[in-house]
Amino acid sequence: MEKINIKLDNLNKVFPDEFNQEQIAKAKTLFLKKLAEESHKFYEGKIQTVPKAPVLGFNWFNVWYTPGVSKVSTNIRDNNESSYELSNRGNFVAVVSDSTRVLGDGDCTPPGGLGVMEGKAFLMKYLGGIDAVALCVDSKNEKGENDPEKIIQFVKMAQHSFGAVNLEDISQPNCYRVLDVLREECDIPVWHDDAQGTACVTLAGLINALKLVNKKISDVKMVLYGSGAANTTIARLIIADGSDPKKMILFDTKGSLHNGRNDIKADKRFYRKWELCEKTNPNRVATMEEAMKGADVLISVSTPGPNTIKPEWIKLMGNKPIVFACANPVPEIYPYAAKEAGAYVVATGRGDFPNQVNNSIGFPGILKGALLVRAKKITDNMAIAAAHSLAGFAEKRGINTENIVPNMQEAGVFPEEAADVAMQAIKDGVARINMSREEAYDKAKKDISYARDMTTSLVESGFIKQPPQKMLEDSLNWAISQVKK
């Protein structure tokens, strides 16, 4: 067997020739899961804390700690804003979760979310030049129920140590209240990446996909399959950017959303879903088959597939249909199957398929932009500005049906996105400090380059070890054996 490239490039070439496309897709998923398990064991996680100031002799401990640091404490006491200059607060993000909706695996218990939350911190550092820490909390009350008020109280208490908070993997409907309350009651930006991040990057992909099919966002008929935190926020952001809600139909596990869904109206916790019931699907279209007739766009953030979205549904769509199948870790329909059914542009949430519509190109730049100007919150306008920044960056370097959004390897996208978000924060009146776009871009680029160069240096010097080749090969062989069973 050909040895796998240590950078995991060209994964398709390492599987047996007799594997068909579905078997290759399944084997890749199993391989990446197994390799993730083994790699996390090998490195014991993927985040550590290192000093950013030197120790040039014994007395420097008296500068970084007592008695010298007393002056720092009293300065911040007298002017809390100085905490952004005298500590790492201005570039520090809390990644907060109760781990009740971890990827497609549901409630994983509080520590079960650490892999994802450390992953967020990892990407923030490498892609956005941001320091972050994973904080997985227990949100259960005395009745054993997950209580949004416990998360709200925790974040409000902890906010003074951070420049921003990234909420992650909090189940519906608690996620709505947690975000909406904290956005208004915290003095720092609170961002829910599952909802706002997914919506931002999906909008970016949609903007460019529509350019390729020469259609306007205000004219197209859209079907959204799944009505969780992600898709309801996607719908809200797309509408805010010009989509006609009367041409939009959403589905949840009980059917389509419309103003006759009294079950949603009666449960006040689902107020975000009810808002969409009132705005969308005025004709009360009831079935996916009826909804998909002539549809231009399908956006699915639902149950992991690969048979959640039926090929026969896609065959009902209009000219040059756009299909986003974004469930993780397995899309609701594999791209090859969607294209065989007639899809013109297909996107998923995975990086091993073309058109990865993934939060990873969104939140590092968005949070960096908010931090640069010490924003008090992240507005919907800032998220929309980020989406257009991402779409514009991709369009400038060229887009096609297999390449509609930037990817994580395109380091230049993140300072551009950060600068555009920072400028929108100033325009929206939520920034504490002003700066020019050039200043924001230069600062973001400098911090991102520093983080990447530091990581490279740690690898080259041996402080971060290379993953063993045998670990990769064993994981690959295991995945192949599972598919052959």
Q: Is residue 82 in a domain?
A: yes
What is the rounded average pLDDT of the residues 385-401? 97
Q: What percent of the chain clears pLDDT 90, i.e. is strictly above it?
A: 86
Rounded-to-integer distance, Cα 217 and Cα 180, Å: 27
Q: Cα Rg for the chain, rounded, in angstroms? A: 23
- At residue 19, the 3 state secondary structure works out as coil
What is the rounded average pLDDT of the residues 27-34? 91
What is the rounded average pLDDT of the residues 442-462? 96
pLDDT score for 239: 97
Q: Which of 384, 145, 344 is nearest to 241 (CA)?
A: 384
Rounded-to-integer distance, Cα 410 and Cα 416, Å: 11
Answer whether 108's CB lies under 8 Å from 180's CB. no
- Which H helix or E strand runs over 348? strand 345-348
pLDDT tens digits, 11-23: 767 888 899 888 8
pLDDT score for 8: 63
Tell me which residues are annotated as active site.
65, 120
- At residue 275, the 3 state secondary structure works out as helix
Residue in the block written with tokens 């990827």: 103
- Across the strands, what pairs with 446? none
- At residue 106, the 3 state secondary structure works out as coil
Q: Is residue 460 in a domain?
A: no
For 351, the token pair is 């990086």
Using pLDDT thresholds of 50, 70 and 90, give the confidence band for residue 6. Answer: very low
What is the rounded average pLDDT of the residues 95-121? 94
- Which H helix or E strand runs over 325? strand 322-325
pLDDT tens digits, 400-438: 999 999 999 999 999 999 999 999 999 999 999 999 999
Supply the mean pLDDT for the chain: 94
Kindly report the pTM of this predicted structure: 0.93
Answer whether 280's CB lies under 8 Å from 258's CB. yes
Rounded-to-integer distance, Cα 441 and Cα 205, Å: 23
For 163, the token pair is 């420049």
Q: Is residue 476 in a domain?
A: no
Q: Is residue 150 in a domain?
A: yes
Residue 357, pLDDT above cutoff 70: yes
> In whole angstroms, how far apart are CA 261 and each of 167, 227, 283, 436?
29, 13, 13, 48
Residue 2, pLDDT above cutoff 80: no
Number of domains observed in the structure of the chain: 1
Maximum CA extent, the chain = 75
What is the rounded average pLDDT of the residues 185-197? 94
Rounded to a whole number, what is the distance in angstroms from the first to the last CA of the chain? 19
Using pLDDT thresholds of 50, 70 and 90, give the confidence band for residue 3. Answer: very low
Residue 152, pLDDT above cutoff 60: yes
CATH no. for residue 130?
3.40.50.10380
pLDDT score for 199: 95
Residue in the block written with tokens 């979205």: 309
What is the rounded average pLDDT of the residues 470-479? 93
Provide the residue range defining the domain that includes 184: 60-193
Q: Is residue 97 in a domain?
A: yes
Q: Is residue 453 in a domain?
A: no
pLDDT score for 394: 97
Q: Is residue 179 in a domain?
A: yes
Q: Which of 411, 198, 398 is nearest to 299 (CA)?
A: 198
Q: Which of 452, 446, 454, 451 is nearest to 418 (CA)?
A: 446
pLDDT tens digits, 57-70: 999 999 999 999 99
pLDDT score for 9: 62
Q: Is the peptide bond before 282 cis (omega within 30 degrees of 0)?
A: no
pLDDT score for 13: 75
The conformational region for residue 441 under phi > 0 = left, psi -120 to 50 = alpha, else beta, is alpha
Rounded-to-integer distance, Cα 316 and Cα 299, Å: 15
Q: Is residue 165 in a domain?
A: yes
Q: Is the peptide bond before 54 cis (omega within 30 degrees of 0)?
A: no
pLDDT score for 5: 52
pLDDT score for 1: 36
